[in-house]
Amino acid sequence: MDWHRILFNLAEMSLYSLGGFALLGVAILLVKLIVPFSIRHEIEDEQNVALAVLIGAVIVAFAIIIAAVMMPPAVSAIK
């Protein structure tokens, strides 16, 4: 077993994960800055379920895009 390679892959995965979380946080912050109202007030106080579903869908969409960008190329594409 090559422990050096395993630890390298673990460190690389951790860095990519932290980078993905940081990019997702920036995306959520941009959504909060773009909308002209308080998302928290609308969802918690006004019980706006449609807005909560919409914001959840936006977060999932950003996460899918970030995961696709960070994913290494397929092995079959390299050969």
Residues 15-47 pLDDT 10s: 888 888 898 889 889 988 998 999 889 999 999
Going from N- to C-terminal start, the domains of the chain cover 3-78
**Per-residue pLDDT at 72 exceeds 90:** no
Looking at residue 73, its pLDDT comes to 63
* Confidence bin at 74 (pLDDT 50/70/90): low
Concatenated DSSP letters for the chain? --HHHHHHHHHHHHHHHHHHHHHHHHHHHHHHHHSSS-HHIIIIIS--HHHHHHHHHHHHHHHHHHHHHHSPPPHHHH-
Distance CA 58, CA 66 (A): 12
Alpha carbon distances (Å) from 57 to 10, 41, 76: 30, 19, 31
Looking at residue 2, its pLDDT comes to 83
* Confidence bin at 78 (pLDDT 50/70/90): low
* Confidence bin at 57 (pLDDT 50/70/90): very high
